[in-house]
């Protein structure tokens, strides 16, 4: 992985962990997620239009396939993530979701896309994943009744992360849709998909009154973080970008401990060290 790609992914990771902290502290719900998508669509429209013109993007009908697929998967992702935060801690749901995604993505990228990361890169990816799971305690309990609260939603969220990462990699690297344009098209489509789930206009108005600041922050930071990732995917294999994104777990664990008072700092430090070593392996591999 090049230094430029790693820098893009690390900045994205910090932004991603920040908006997840904001979402955890907010009331959330389908109305909240709908407003986030609608506000983000409006805020990022001028940027997307500028990218469309500057990069001389030519829309083709075939481009609707990755746009619709990605929007549908992202709709499931945001709803599952929000449900996870209503039940579980940030330091449980966030690492589990973020670690499950790259593990599946790495395997799929090798099998489906023919990518062949080097041994150091593979070892780095496995360290990132191992560190993330260590943050949650005993991984053997993940599929038992003793699993941490919110873990089930986190694991399902991880599946959606793997799915949209692969779809979006194809969109920006094979269909050559500019990352900002692609993400905005997905935002617009996701807004339409979420609107029927939001409830009444009164529910939207109540969510806006209660969580206006959180909605604005997530609407700004979530697309910004993912546009940086999509940009890295244009010239970097998905099998390296997907695990490197999980540097956000470091930021999420620290935020959970500092801002939310979540416990077990010693285990988090060991897990964080594994993740840092994993990122170094990805950069070298």
Tell me what the pLDDT averaged over the chain comes to.
86
Q: What is the pLDDT of residue 47?
A: 95
pLDDT of residue 261 exceeding 70: yes
13 compared with 98, residue with greater pLDDT: 13
pLDDT of residue 148 exceeding 70: no
pLDDT tens-place string over residues 3-39: 898 899 999 999 999 999 999 999 999 999 999 999 9
128-139: average pLDDT = 70
**Integer Cα distance of 9 and 227 in angstroms:** 10
pLDDT tens-place string over residues 151-204: 789 889 989 988 998 899 899 999 999 999 999 999 999 999 999 999 899 999
Res. 98 pLDDT band, cuts 50 70 90: confident
Look at 55-69, 110-124, 205-219 and tell me which has the smallest mean pLDDT. Answer: 110-124
Q: What is the pLDDT of residue 131?
A: 77
Q: What is the pLDDT of residue 33?
A: 97
Where do the domains of the chain lie? Answer: 3-284
105 compared with 90, residue with greater pLDDT: 90
């Amino acid at each position: 992985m090049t230094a430029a790609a790693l820098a893009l992914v690390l900045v994205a990771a910090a932004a991603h962990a920040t908006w997840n902290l904001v979402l955890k502290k907010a009331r959330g719900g389908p109305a909240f997620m709908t407003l986030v998508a609608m506000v983000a669509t409006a805020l990022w429209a001028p940027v997307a239009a500028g990218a469309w013109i500057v990069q001389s993007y030519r829309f083709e009908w075939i481009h609707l396939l990755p746009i619709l697929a990605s929007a549908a998967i992202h709709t499931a992702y945001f709803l599952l993530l929000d449900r996870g935060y209503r039940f579980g801690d940030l330091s449980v749901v966030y690492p589990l979701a973020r670690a499950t995604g790259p593990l599946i993505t790495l395997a799929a990228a090798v099998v489906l896309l023919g990518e062949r990361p080097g041994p150091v890169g593979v070892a780095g990816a496995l360290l990132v994943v191992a560190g993330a799971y260590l943050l949650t305690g005993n991984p053997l309990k993940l599929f038992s009744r003793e699993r941490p609260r919110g873990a089930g939603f986190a694991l399902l969220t991880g599946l959606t992360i793997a799915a949209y990462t692969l779809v979006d990699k194809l969109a920006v690297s094979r269909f050559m849709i500019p990352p900002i344009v692609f993400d905005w098209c997905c935002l617009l489509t996701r807004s339409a998909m979420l609107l029927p789930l939001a409830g009444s206009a009164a529910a939207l108005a109540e969510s806006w009154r209660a969580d206006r600041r959180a909605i604005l922050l997530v609407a700004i930071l979530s697309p910004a973080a993912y546009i940086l990732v999509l940009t890295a995917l244009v010239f970097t294999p998905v099998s390296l970008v997907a695990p490197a994104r999980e540097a956000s777990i470091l930021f999420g664990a620290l935020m959970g401990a500092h801002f939310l008072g979540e416990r077990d700092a010693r285990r988090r430090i060991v897990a964080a060290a594994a993740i840092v070593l994993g990122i170094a392996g990805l950069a070298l591999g």
